[in-house]
Amino acid sequence: MPVAASAIYFLNLRGDVLINRLYRDDVGGNMVDAFRMHIMQTKELGTCPVRQIGGCSFFYMRISNVYIVIVVSTNANVACAFKFVVEAVALFKSYFGGAFDEDAIRNNFVLIYELLDEIMDFGYPQNLSPEILKLYITQEGVRSPFSSKPSERPAPNATLQVTGAVGWRREGLAYKKNEVFLDIVESVNLLMSSKGSVLRCDVTGKILMKCFLSGMPDLKLGLNDKIGLEKEAQLKSRPTKSGKTIELDDVTFHQCVNLTRFNSEKTVSFVPPDGEFELMKYRITEGVNLPFRVLPTIKDLGRTRMEVNVKVKSVFGAKMFALGVVIKVPVPKQTAKASFQVTSGRAKYNASIDCLVWKIRKFPGQTESTMSAEVELITTMVEKKPSTKPPIQMEFQVPMFTASGLRVRFLKVWEKSGYNTVEWVRYITKAGSYEIRC
């Protein structure tokens, strides 16, 4: 169930009540004394943000020098409560010029009480969007002298934005050049054996957008995902086109996406917010195209020497290239020094992390590079015991490449004025947890 908060308190570090609001009559006004006595005075504030005292639960969070405490008397959604606190603090900061501390609260009692009445009704969270609330709560807070004055915006129709379906975009936007930037950013997570077999692999991705569009445009995004292509072929009564299709898992959307249309047509349709935002997130576990394969060989040459050979192959297209490639090969703590031979880039021994660090600024596709190193170890009297070696770690960025194979088939923009738009699409794949056992 939702939060169903009975009361909310704002306390300073001494436990003094700065401001509070009671939403239900199922708790007494002295509940803050129980929080102060059983939690603050026992110095258990840092152990767990959720505590039960008697028949009530306390959810609390420290922001700057202020504790925000929510009191509930029934079973409630803890994650929703903390989400409410975070969104409420962001709202207060937008009114106070970016500051939220004890002084900001003392200087804005009236405004805070008015906001608390709007953002929570009978203990249930309501609209916390600063853009919407500022349309009809126009009082300005006492700002910090270090905060910058916000830019003046024309006030659009508040009733339309509060009751309508587009609360994330204001009316009256106008740009000389209408542009849309779309980035597909993916992180590859890999665990590979020393012989090159994949033990675990998945891709987490997100679609980032930056929109500079006039009016109230309606956008439609088409991807080469399996469900969307099959639905399109079904609606058009024709067979699915041949080519790679992607099965997306764990998809989450921005609130601007029309979920009703997505469920029926399997297309991503939305009225975008102005500026930059994250349109969707997804995960892929099958059919991952690994950008690199790493083949390590590590040999012990007696008690004081070891030989390390690492071969790295780029699997992506020959016209592409990777940037900022870093390979970290772990070595024993008693390493004294290391000598290297590399076909590209530079390598050195980093004693602070006990690794051989091989850096390649630009790695072309369909090529391979090797590093050979001879490591000298400090002689110790302790007999060497066999132990599990940490995996080799890799970092990289590959522009215009997606490990999942996800591609944008189309990005359409409709607006009643019929202006022309310029669409920009980019792809980038980064290393997440990219590890190879040695």
Helix (H, G, I), strand (E, B) or coil at 235: helix
The pLDDT value recorded for residue 97 is 83
Cβ-based neighbours of 79, under 8 Å, separated by 6 or more: none
- Residue 62: half-sphere exposure toward Cβ, Cα within 13 Å: 13
Cα angle at 4 between 88 and 66, to 5 degrees?
35
Cβ-based neighbours of 242, under 8 Å, separated by 6 or more: none
The pLDDT value recorded for residue 262 is 86
Instruction: Tell me how long the chain is.
Output: 438
The pLDDT value recorded for residue 155 is 43
The pLDDT value recorded for residue 240 is 46
Pairwise CA distance, residues 199 & 435, whole Å? 10
The pLDDT value recorded for residue 229 is 60
The pLDDT value recorded for residue 136 is 77
Residue 296, amino acid: P
- Using DSSP bridges, classify how beta strands 124-125 and 120-121 pair: parallel, antiparallel or unpaired: antiparallel
Residue 6, amino acid: S
- Strands (E) in 265-377, as ranges, are 268-270, 275-284, 292-300, 305-314, 321-330, 335-342, 346-350, 355-364, 368-377
Which domains, and CATH codes, for the chain? 7-134 (3.30.450.60), 179-288+402-436 (2.60.40.1170), 292-379+389-399 (2.60.40.1170)
- Strands (E) in 81-216, as ranges, are 120-121, 124-125, 179-192, 198-212
Which pLDDT tens digits describe the chain residue by residue (438 residues)?
466 788 899 998 888 889 988 888 887 777 778 888 877 777 666 678 888 887 888 898 888 889 999 999 888 888 888 999 999 999 999 888 888 889 889 888 889 999 998 898 888 888 888 877 887 787 877 765 554 444 444 444 444 444 445 678 888 899 999 999 999 999 999 999 877 789 999 999 999 999 999 999 999 999 988 765 665 555 554 444 445 678 888 899 998 999 888 888 878 999 999 999 999 999 999 889 999 999 999 998 888 899 999 999 999 999 999 999 999 999 998 899 999 999 999 999 999 999 999 999 999 999 999 999 999 998 776 665 656 789 999 999 999 999 999 999 999 999 999 999 999 999 999 999 999 998
Backbone angles phi, psi at 261, to 5 degrees: -70, -35
Helix (H, G, I), strand (E, B) or coil at 255: coil
Cβ-based neighbours of 348, under 8 Å, separated by 6 or more: 338, 340, 356, 357
What ranges in 184-302 are assigned the alpha helix state H? 226-235, 259-265
The pLDDT value recorded for residue 343 is 95
Q: 427 and 384 in contact (C-beta within 8 Å)?
A: no
And the tokens for 385? 């015991």
> Measuring CA to CA, which residue among 337, 275, 272, 350 is closest to residue 305?
337
Cβ-based neighbours of 219, under 8 Å, separated by 6 or more: 180, 211, 269, 270, 271, 272, 411, 412, 413, 414
Pairwise CA distance, residues 216 & 300, whole Å? 67
| Neighbour count for residue 37 (Cβ, 10 Å) | 12
Pairwise CA distance, residues 408 & 23, whole Å? 48
